[in-house]
Amino acid sequence: MGISETKTAEILAAIRRIMLVIFLLGSCGTVAELLLLKHTEDTWQWVPLILSLLSLLALLIHTVVRRAATIRIFQATMILYLISGFVGSYLHYRAKVEFKLEMNPSMAGWELFRAAVTEGAVPPVLAPGVMIYMGLLGLAWAYRHPALISQPE
């Protein structure tokens, strides 16, 4: 026995709402954490904050106008989330390597990599991965969004 199209649409709408709530909680939590950690010392550190706020603004505007363009802006922001996650992980890794080499200039190869990734807390190498996760979640939420299907661009 199959599920009716109406029931399928209701299920997809519920899943989309759940994904949106998870995204909103994650974005607000990320903004709060970055501000509490004073992650604002240089230009690169502002990128996740600005992207998070931009995504929230795009969603707020979409709530009011419900246009395909606002979803497209949100999707573009999510692509930037992905890029910032990879760039951020690289920058965090590079900072950890520099710190480890200051402590022990003879470190190299696997030993240096392992120490940079596993030892010490600041900056956490994989923390920017949250931007990758959030970007993928946002893209999943926007995938075949009803505003993209029901309205011309």
- Supply the pLDDT for residue 46: 96
- Supply the pLDDT for residue 152: 53
Indicate the pTM of the whole model: 0.87
Q: Which amino acid is at 95?
A: A
- Supply the pLDDT for residue 109: 92
- Supply the pLDDT for residue 126: 87
Specify the long-range contacts of residues 50-56, CB closer than 8 Å, at least 24 apart. 51/77, 51/80, 51/81, 51/84, 51/131, 52/27, 52/134, 55/23, 55/27, 55/81, 55/138, 56/24, 56/27, 56/28
- Supply the pLDDT for residue 121: 66
- Supply the pLDDT for residue 92: 92
36: tokens are 């509490």
pLDDT digit string (tens) for the chain, length 153 residues: 578 888 988 999 999 999 999 999 999 999 999 999 999 999 999 999 999 999 999 999 999 998 999 999 999 999 999 999 999 999 999 999 998 899 899 998 999 999 888 887 678 888 899 999 999 999 999 999 998 886 554
* Residue-range domain boundaries for the chain: 5-150
